[in-house]
Amino acid sequence: MESRQFFFAAVTVCVLVGEMLTPSATRRDSAGAGEAAREQSERHDAILRVLVAGLKAREASATTAQVHFVKECYYTTDSSTIDAFDDAGQRALFRQPPSLFHFFWAADGTKARQEEKRILPESSPHHKMVTYDGQRILRWDVGAPTATQYPGEQEGVPYSAGAFWLQLSIGVPRRPAFWPLSEAVQGRKASVVAEERIGDVRTYRVDGAGERADMSESWWIAPDLGCLVVRNERRKARPDPRAAITSWRHVVMVERIVKAGDGLWVPSVVRDVAYVSLREGRETWSRMQRYSSLSLEINRPVPATLFDIRLPLGTKIINPGETGFRVVGGDISGFRARVEKGTPEAHELLDSPSGKKLQVEK
């Protein structure tokens, strides 16, 4: 019931934007150029406040989620684009074949779990699980002898692919000026630029600073769809005159939208494309990813057992930055070393305990 109230609040604040579009012709004709500019600035500021309120209401409207989705990943085969990257690791990345991943993501309040399995290419198997308990992240490559645990804020939120493309703030560590989106827009000195249509959808383009000083970002927010962001673009310029790549754009576009969880609009297909501008004067794509949901539930009960990874006995849990480790079920390395020697010590074969104290722990 509470999530439904949040949803209707989101609809209400976003519909209010429609009442703030443009001043009447009479006021526009009677005001001078300076006055008109001031009024437009004030109007855009008011629209931004309503959009941010809508984003906050949207972020509060979902309390649980479960989604199975696939990620397709393609890399450019254009050799001139690949050679433009000055990092050898990136050039090697682009020479990979297309890949297909199957994901499961679930969240309940501050808890989350993501499971990721590579389907193609079959020659590169990959199966990873990640959980977040509201404070700590636990990562485990399925079958590996070690797992890693660390504070959620330490690495940010790279594991929450489901949260990002569904635009949900549950189960995600907070990162100032990055996530949740309502706080990012407020913290980036954002402003409303214009009303624009994307297909048949009315949006407001909001421009702001990027995560770093050399970046900028834009969001196209659809008030009629519960303040869903239907397009996001990040840009970065490279001032180095010797660089073969002069700038890049990272564009996320919603391709299909569905209603889920008490009428909340969410993306069901999202395309994520990275573009680079080359010094020769052309822009080209370097990588494209597409996320497509297979099944989706929002604001439905999620079993608590989903958020526990049952690690096998003997798995080492490492905390980066700390010495030592913890072993699931207890550390048996000393016993292993003793057995691997092949034979017991001579005193261990004596029939009498004389000469050796009986150990009694208190």
Quick: pLDDT tens for 227-257: 999 999 999 987 677 778 888 999 999 999 9
Domain count, the chain: 2
Contact 10, 52 (CB under 8 A): no
In a shared domain, residues 89 and 66 = yes
Q: What pLDDT does residue 93 have?
A: 79
* Residues 75-119 pLDDT 10s: 998 888 888 887 777 788 788 899 999 999 999 988 899 999 999
In a shared domain, residues 245 and 106 = yes
In a shared domain, residues 232 and 320 = no
Phi and psi at 319, nearest 5°, equal -110, 105
168 assigned to some structural domain: yes
Residue 23, judged by CB atoms within 10 A of its CB (0-12, 13-18, 19+), counts as middle
In a shared domain, residues 165 and 265 = yes
In a shared domain, residues 213 and 235 = yes
* Residues ≥6 apart with Cβ < 8 Å to 349: none
Within 10 Å of residue 112's Cβ, how many Cβ atoms? 29
Element (H, E) at 191: strand 191-198
40 assigned to some structural domain: no
Contact 163, 112 (CB under 8 A): yes
In a shared domain, residues 135 and 207 = yes
Q: Above 90 in pLDDT, residue 164?
A: no
352 assigned to some structural domain: no
In a shared domain, residues 98 and 145 = yes
Contact 75, 96 (CB under 8 A): yes
Span 336-359, average pLDDT? 73
224 assigned to some structural domain: yes
* Residues 111-162 pLDDT 10s: 899 999 999 999 888 899 998 888 888 889 999 999 988 876 655 444 577 7
CATH of the domain at 284: 2.50.20.10
Which residue range forms the structural domain that includes residue 236?
A: 57-307
Domain boundary among 307, 331, 353: 307
Task: Give dist(CA 72, CA 175) in Å, integer.
Answer: 27
b/e per residue, 203-236, with b = 16+ CB within 10 A?
A: bbbbbbeeeeeeebbbbbbbbebbbbbbbbbbbb
* Residues ≥6 apart with Cβ < 8 Å to 175: 153, 156, 157
349 assigned to some structural domain: no
In a shared domain, residues 165 and 287 = yes
In a shared domain, residues 253 and 142 = yes
Is pTM beyond 0.85? Reply is no
Q: What pLDDT does residue 29 have?
A: 55
In a shared domain, residues 149 and 272 = yes
* Residues ≥6 apart with Cβ < 8 Å to 340: none
In a shared domain, residues 135 and 277 = yes
In a shared domain, residues 122 and 257 = yes
Contact 203, 195 (CB under 8 A): yes
